[in-house]
Chain A
Amino acid sequence: MNKRNKWKSGILAATAMVVLLAGCSSGTNGNGNNSGNGDGGDKAVTLRFSWWGGQERHEATLAAIEAYKAIAPNVTIEAEYQGFDGYEQKVKTQLAGGTSADIMQLDVPWMNELSRSDSFLELKDLPGLPLDGFDSAFLDNFGTYNDKLVALPTGVNAYALVINKTAADSLGVPTDIRWDWERLYEEGKKLHEKDSSKFLLLADHGHLMGDFTNMLKQRIGDQWIKDDYTLGFAKEDAVAVLTWMDKAIKAGVYQPLGEADLFYGKTEQNPKWINGDIVMISSMSSTLLSLRNVLSEGTEVTTSLPATALDAKASSVVVRPSQLIAISKKSKHPEEATAFLNWFMNDPEAAAILGDVRSVPSSSKAQQAAVEAGKIDPAITKAVEEGLANAGIVENSISTNSEISAILQDTIEKVAYGRNTPEQGADELIEGLEKKLSELQGRK
C-alpha cells in the first residue's frame, strides 16, 4: 500500500513536470526563430549582421540597414548589436558552434586565432565586391590570414597624440609643432615645475609600453622582435630608451604611474584628464570621441603625430583597421551577404549615413562621400591622414604576443617605480625576452 502510493505520487509528479515542460517549451518556441528560414531561391532572404559599438554606431548602422531595404527589398537584415563587453566571447562561441551571424564585425587581435578554423568566406575576386577602393597593402596586412582575404577593414585608425587644446593654450603648451622626445621632455618638465598638479602626458603602463616600443623602433628602424624570434635591438638601445623614460618620469612629464594605472583600460575616466590637468594622451584615433566626451563643453581637442625622434630611422606610427567585417562561410546566402557588404563598405549613400561611426572609412569611395556629407570629425580626419602619410612598421604578431608583453610590462613598471635603474631594467628585459622567445620557439 505504502509502496504503491509512493510510486503513484512519483508518476504523478513526473507527469506534472512533463506537462509543465511541454507547455512552456512550445510557448517559447513560437516566437523563437532561427535565421535559416529563407530556403534558397532569390525571394525572401534573411541575413544576420552582428556588431558591437556605442549609441551612435547602433543608430547609424540601423539607419543604413533601413536604407538598404530600398535597394534590395527581398533582403531582411536582422541586426544583432551590443556593447563591447562579451562580444568577443560571444563571437568565438558562435563560431565554435556554427551559429555565427552571416556578416560579423571583428577585431584585428582576434583574427589569428579565429582564422585557424577556416570559418570565413574568401573575399578576393568576388564578382559583387570590387576592392579597388581599398589600399591593397592595408588589405594584405590586416585582412589576409593564411593567404586568404577573409575580412575587410571598416575604417582606418591611427596612433596619435590626442591633445586637449583648450588646456594646452591656457597652460602655454604649443599644439602646432611636431613632437619629438626631447621636446616632450622639456615642455613636460617646464609645465610640471610651474604647477606640480599638472602633467603633460597621461600614461598608464600600456601607454608607457607603447612609448617604449615606439622609441625603440625609431632607433633601430626595424621590428624590435624579429619574425625569427630574435631580438631586433641591442642592450644600449634599451638602456637609452629606458634612461629617457626614467628621466621623464622623474621630471613629472608623465602623471605618476600609480595614479594613472588606476584607470587602466578606461583612460577617459581619469579625473586629471577630465579636469584639464593633463594635456595629452597618446592613443588610437578611435578613442578620441570618448576622450573628448568627458571634457566640459566647448573644450577643443586636436591631434598631432605621435612623438618621433629627430633622427628616427623609421616611423613607428601604428595604422590599423578600426574593425574588420567578415562573412561566415556557413552563410546560406553568401551572394546576398556579399552584395550587402559591398553596399555597406563602398556605396556613397551608405557612407553618408554611416559617417565616422567606424572611424574614417577605409574604402576611398566611401571616404570621399562621407567627407562630402560632412559626417567626419575633422580632428579624427587629421589624425588618420597624418597617420596614413607617416604609417610605420606594421607590428608582427610575435611582438604583440601576450607573454612578451607581460615581460615588457614588468620591466617598465620596475623602472617607472624606481626599483630598477635603466641598466638593470635593460638587462632583465633582454634576459627575460631571450628565455621566453626560445621557449615560444620550442612550442611552435
Chain B
Amino acid sequence: MTDARNGSNKTLSYVLLVVLGFAMVYPLIWLVVSSLKTNADIFGSSSLFAGSYVTDSYAKGWAGTGQYGFKDFYLNTFVLVVPTVIFTIVSSVVVAYGFARFRFPLQTILFSLMMATLMLPDSTIMIPRYILFNKMGWLDTYLPFIVPAAFATSAFFVYMLIQFFRGLPRELDESAKIDGCNSFTILIRILLPLCKPAIFSVGIFQFIWTWNDFFNSIIYISSVKKFTVSLGLRMTLDASSAVSWNQVLAMSVVSIVPCIILFFMAQKYFVEGISTTGLKG
C-alpha cells in the first residue's frame, strides 16, 4: 500500500517536473525552431511549428552583412572574453585573499570602499570612464575591458571570494605554515585547490556577462572589424528596414553555444560553488 502511494507520488512529481521543465526550455526550443522559419511564420502564428522551413538562415547569418561575418565576431569575442575572465579570476583571488586573511592599515576603509563600488550604479560612471579611457587612447580596443579586470574591479567577485575564504578553517593555514609554506604558497597550494568551486563560479559568471555585454561593447568599440558577437547580432536591427529575423535568431542560437558548453563542462563545480558560497544565481 505504501508502495503504491510512493509510486503515484513519484509519477506526480515526474509529471510536474516534465511540465515545468518544458515550460522553462520552451523559449529555447522556440528560438531554435524559429531560426528556420520565415518572417511571416515567426510573428504571424503562435504555433511552434510552421508550414514551411528555410534552411539557409544559418549560412547567410554566419556570412553576415557587408565586410565582416560572424567568424570575425566570434574570434573578436574570444580575444576579448578570455583575457578578461582570466584576469578577473587572478586579481579577485589575490585581493580577496588579502582581505580575508591579513590585517593591514586602513583595512576597514578599503573594504568599505570596495563595497561602495558594488552599490554604485554602472551608468553613473559611464561618461567619466569613457573620458578616462579616451584620454588613455584605449577607445576602439579591448583594453577598457581587459585592464580593469586585472585590477579586481568587480567588487561582486571579490566579495564572493572573501566569503568563501572565510569559510575555510584557519587551522589549514597554520599547519601549512608549520610545514614551511609562506603566505603566497599557502594561497597557491592550500587554499586555491579548496576554492575551486568559487573560482569556477567567478569564471562562468564573468564569461557569460562579458560574452553577453552589449552596452559597454557598443560604447567602446566603434569599428565593425572589432565587433563582438553581441554587437554583430544587433547589427541589422532597424525599425525602418526589412529584418531577416531567421538569420538573427540563427546567430543567436550559435552565440549561446559557448556559454552552454562552458556551463556543462564546469557544471559540477559551479553548482557546488553556488551552494557553498551561499550565492543565489
Q: Does A56 contact B (CB under 8 A)?
A: yes
Are A96 and B182 in contact, with the CB atoms below 8 A?
A: no
Interface size, A (range):
35 or more
**Smallest CB–CB gap between B95 and chain A, Å?**
10
Are A58 and B236 in contact, with the CB atoms below 8 A?
A: yes
Are A274 and B231 in contact, with the CB atoms below 8 A?
A: no
Are B241 and A86 in contact, with the CB atoms below 8 A?
A: no
Q: Kindly list chain A residues whose C-beta atoms are within 8 Å of the C-beta of B19.
A: none
Are A52 and B238 in contact, with the CB atoms below 8 A?
A: yes
Q: Does A112 contact B (CB under 8 A)?
A: no
Tell me the complex Cα distance, A29–B241, Å: 36
Are B40 and A296 in contact, with the CB atoms below 8 A?
A: yes
Are B235 and A21 in contact, with the CB atoms below 8 A?
A: no
Are B66 and A5 in contact, with the CB atoms below 8 A?
A: no
Tell me the complex Cα distance, A6–B187, Å: 12
Are B137 and A34 in contact, with the CB atoms below 8 A?
A: yes
Q: Does A401 contact B (CB under 8 A)?
A: no
Residue from the list A13, A94, A286 in contact with B240, Cβ < 8 A: A286
**Smallest CB–CB gap between A429 and chain B, Å?**
28
Q: Does B126 contact A (CB under 8 A)?
A: yes
Are A269 and B43 in contact, with the CB atoms below 8 A?
A: yes
Q: Kindly list chain B residues whose C-beta atoms are within 8 Å of the C-beta of A58.
A: 65-66, 235-236
Are B43 and A294 in contact, with the CB atoms below 8 A?
A: yes
Known contacts: A54-B241, A62-B66, A84-B238. The answer to whether A20 contacts B40 by CB under 8 A is no
Known contacts: A56-B242, A99-B134, A290-B239. The answer to whether A268 contacts B43 by CB under 8 A is yes
Known contacts: A21-B147, A28-B142, A101-B222. The answer to whether A274 contacts B43 by CB under 8 A is yes
Q: Kindly list chain A residues whose C-beta atoms are within 8 Å of the C-beta of B127.
A: 93, 96-97
Are B243 and A80 in contact, with the CB atoms below 8 A?
A: no
**Smallest CB–CB gap between A27 and chain B, Å?**
9
Tell me the complex Cα distance, A54–B240, Å: 8
**Smallest CB–CB gap between B154 and chain A, Å?**
16
Tell me the complex Cα distance, A17–B137, Å: 21
Are B143 and A28 in contact, with the CB atoms below 8 A?
A: yes
Residue from the list A6, A25, A89, A322 in contact with B183, Cβ < 8 A: A6
Known contacts: A9-B184, A62-B66. The answer to whether A21 contacts B239 by CB under 8 A is no
Are A97 and B134 in contact, with the CB atoms below 8 A?
A: yes
Are A83 and B234 in contact, with the CB atoms below 8 A?
A: yes
Q: Kindly list chain B residues whose C-beta atoms are within 8 Å of the C-beta of A33.
A: 140
Are B130 and A93 in contact, with the CB atoms below 8 A?
A: yes
Residue from the list A28, A81, A93 in contact with B235, Cβ < 8 A: A81
Residue from the list B140, B141, B222, B240 in contact with A322, Cβ < 8 A: B240
Q: Kindly list chain B residues whose C-beta atoms are within 8 Å of the C-beta of A78.
A: 223
Interface size, B (range):
35 or more
Q: Kindly list chain A residues whose C-beta atoms are within 8 Å of the C-beta of B184.
A: 5, 9, 12-13
The CB with the most chain A CB atoms within 10 A, among B137, B143, B244, is that of: B143
**Smallest CB–CB gap between B236 and chain A, Å?**
4
Are A81 and B224 in contact, with the CB atoms below 8 A?
A: yes
Q: Kindly list chain B residues whose C-beta atoms are within 8 Å of the C-beta of A56.
A: 241-242
Tell me the complex Cα distance, A79–B83, Å: 27
Are B140 and A54 in contact, with the CB atoms below 8 A?
A: no
**Smallest CB–CB gap between A60 and chain B, Å?**
10
Q: Does B55 contact A (CB under 8 A)?
A: no
**Smallest CB–CB gap between A254 and chain B, Å?**
20
Are A5 and B182 in contact, with the CB atoms below 8 A?
A: yes
Q: Can you pick out 26 interface pairs between chain A and chain B where the beta carbons lie within 8 Å of each other?
A: A5-B182, A6-B182, A9-B184, A12-B184, A13-B184, A17-B91, A28-B146, A48-B222, A55-B244, A58-B236, A84-B238, A85-B218, A85-B237, A93-B126, A96-B131, A265-B239, A266-B239, A289-B240, A289-B241, A290-B241, A290-B242, A293-B39, A295-B40, A296-B40, A296-B44, A297-B40
Residues of A with Cβ closer than 8 Å to B? 2, 5-6, 8-9, 12-13, 17, 20-21, 24-25, 28-29, 32-34, 48, 50, 52-59, 62, 78-86, 89-90, 93-94, 96-99, 101, 265-266, 268-271, 274-275, 284, 286-287, 289-290, 292-297, 322, 357, 359
Pairs A-B, 9 closest by C-beta atoms: A54-B241, A9-B184, A32-B141, A293-B242, A83-B237, A274-B44, A286-B240, A5-B182, A54-B238
Residues of B with Cβ closer than 8 Å to A? 39-40, 43-46, 65-67, 83, 87, 90-91, 94, 126-127, 130-131, 134, 137-143, 146-147, 150, 182-184, 214-215, 218-219, 222-224, 227, 231, 234-244
